[in-house]
Every structure is written in C-alpha cells, then in structure tokens.
Amino acid sequence: MTKTIFKILSDENFIDLNMIQFGYEEVTPLKSFGPTKRNHFLFHYIINGKGKLISDNDKGETITYDLEAGQGFLLYPQQTNYYVADSEEPWTYMWVEFDGMKAREICLITGLTFNQPIYEASNKKDSMSVKNELLYLIEHKENAPLELMGHLYLLLSNLIGTSINRKEKSGNNMLEFYLHEARVFIEQNYHRDISAEDVAHVCNLSRVYLSKIFKSKFNTTLQEFIIQFRMSKAQELLKTTDYSVTKISEMVGYQNAFNFSRAFKKIIGISPRDWRIKNRVLLQSFKSTIK
C-alpha cells in the first residue's frame, strides 16, 4: 500500500524562488507517473529502493536512467518525463516542486540540467545534507511558509555544494544558458504564434536584453532569429512535401499565408512557390546523377 505525505503551499507568492509543494511517498512496485510535462521544477531524492527515469533531452531523444537510494533527479518545466518504481525494490522518495525568477539559474549551477537531470553526491555523507533538508520540510510541514522557504534555499544550496556535476557560476556560462533555453523554446514552439516577448519570458529576461545577447552571438536580433528559423523549416517542407504554401505557413507559425510569403521572400530572396520549383528541379537533377 502506498504511503504518502505532502503539503501544498497554494497561497504563497515569493518572487525569486517559490515553493509549490513537497512530499514523501513509499511507492508500490511498478507504480509509475507520466509520461507528462510539468509547469514547474520538481526535484526527487531517493531514500531507498530503485526505479527508472525516462526523460527527453533537448534534442528530443529519450534517455533512460537507472536510479537508486542516495541519488535524485530534477524534472524541468515542459520536459516530457516518465518514472517508474522497481518491481522488486520499489523506491521511497521525497520531492519538492518550485519555480521563481531565480529557479533556472540556481538549477543550472547545481549541474542538474535538461540533458543531465541526475543528482549524485561525491560521497554518502554529502548526500545526507540534501536528505536532511527534505526531511525537515516533511517533519515540519505545518510551520510558517517563510521558514519552509528558508529550508528550500538550504536544500538548493546543499545541492550546489554536493553535486558532482556542479557548475561554477560565470557570466559566460549564464549567457550560454540563456541562449540554450531560448533556442530550445523556439525549436519546440516555432509552429505556434510565439513572439520574442514569449521567448524572453521563458528565460526570465527582458526582450531587449535577450535580443542583445542574440545580436552579440549570432549577429541577429531575437525576432530575426525566430523568423529565420521558421523559414529554414519552411524550406524543408517545401522541398520534401506537397503541402500547399498556406498549409506550410500554418505549420511554421503564420496564420496568414500572405504575411508568410512576404517574410519568406524578404529572407530567402524569392517567393515560396518559386523556391519550391527551383529546388525541386535541383533535387530531381541530383537524384538522376546518382542513379
């Protein structure tokens, strides 16, 4: 039988770091969660037992991690995850869900990333400091929210201090992190009606500042980068499918085919229809050559 203890902090609204909920669970064999995407960061620490985490990386690849007591894992917002308890030694774990303006930056420093979500300490003694902060939350769940928030900060500080994957904070690391977060969001959402403002919001930065970062790295503004990415996807579809220009415009985030065609011609130099004809001829010519 599953034993669960949890606390939801629904009425609090701290800015830099905000705790949503925390809990403890003794899981039954093969009990699973997902696959699903979450809206906040969610960290699990395994007290005993075993299980598996199946998680997507930023390339859309599915990675399986075998986990045991003393390890932990961090689930990122909008990342697809599935995790399941072992059939013979099901895990018991504690968790905490959080978000906030500084959450991504702090998680980056811990070394627990979209592509490397596993917490592991260099030795058992170090991992106990993480375990103890989570236990404090569970055992004092009725205490004042501000006190509980203090222990969330201590928990994350201990993650940073003990993780074997810890990153040293630097200006260059942070700029690369923001660029990575922005590009992943664009790659996963270019087909939607997203704006530069939406991308900046995901990175917890102003649009002007994030655009300056893009300009210094790629010599293009954030808005121009989004348009260029959409046009590259449109070129793939024009070359490899028979979809209409209207259909393709919708698939790359444009609700108006005229606006799409105008943007395409501005970036590529010719209309989508003319580009398709030209490149279909080149493709057929290439296929004839290699036969």
Q: Which of 67, 82, 81 is nearest to 114 (CA)?
A: 81
Where does the pLDDT of residue 178 fall: very low under 50, low under 70, confident under 90, or very high at 90 and above?
confident
In this prediction, what percent of the chain has a pLDDT beyond 70?
89
- Mean pLDDT over the full length of the chain: 86
Q: What is the pLDDT of residue 53?
A: 96
How do 32-36 and 18-26 pair as beta strands? unpaired
Helix (H, G, I), strand (E, B) or coil at 9: coil
pTM above 0.85, yes or no: no
Q: What is the pLDDT of residue 63?
A: 93
Q: What is the pLDDT of residue 223?
A: 94
6 and 35 Cβ atoms separated by less than 8 Å: no
Q: How many CB atoms lie within 10 A of CB 24?
A: 21
Length of the chain equals: 291
- The encoded tokens of residue 1 equal 């039988």
Q: What is the pLDDT of residues 3-37, one digit of tens each?
A: 667 566 665 566 778 888 999 999 999 999 989 98
Q: What is the pLDDT of residues 37-63, one digit of tens each?
A: 888 999 999 999 999 999 988 888 899
Q: How far apart are CA 188 and CA 199, in angstroms?
A: 11
**In degrees rounded to 5, what are phi and psi of residue 210?**
-65, -35
Q: What is the pLDDT of residue 9?
A: 63
Beginning with the edge strand found earlier in the chain, give each strand of the sheet holding 118-119 in spatial order: 3-8, 18-26, 92-99, 41-48, 72-75, 118-119
- Please compute the mean of the pLDDT values over residues 225-230 and round it to a whole number: 94
Q: Which of 170, 135, 167, 133 is nearest to 152 (CA)?
A: 133
Q: What is the pLDDT of residue 171?
A: 53
Q: How many alpha carbons lie under 13 Å from residue 115 in its C-beta half-sphere?
A: 8
- Please compute the mean of the pLDDT values over residues 263-284 and round it to a whole number: 83
Residue 150: pLDDT above 80?
Answer: yes
Residue 194: what residue type? Answer: I
Residue 269: pLDDT above 90?
Answer: yes
**In degrees rounded to 5, what are phi and psi of residue 38?**
-110, 165
Q: What is the pLDDT of residues 95-135, one digit of tens each?
A: 999 998 888 888 888 889 888 999 998 777 788 889 999 99
Where does the pLDDT of residue 161 fall: very low under 50, low under 70, confident under 90, or very high at 90 and above?
confident
Which domains are delineated in the chain?
Answer: 3-162 (2.60.120.10), 171-290 (1.10.10.60)
- Which run of H or E residues covers position 198? helix 196-202
Q: What is the pLDDT of residue 173?
A: 63
| Residue-by-residue DSSP string for 140-156 | TTTS-HHHHHHHHHHHH
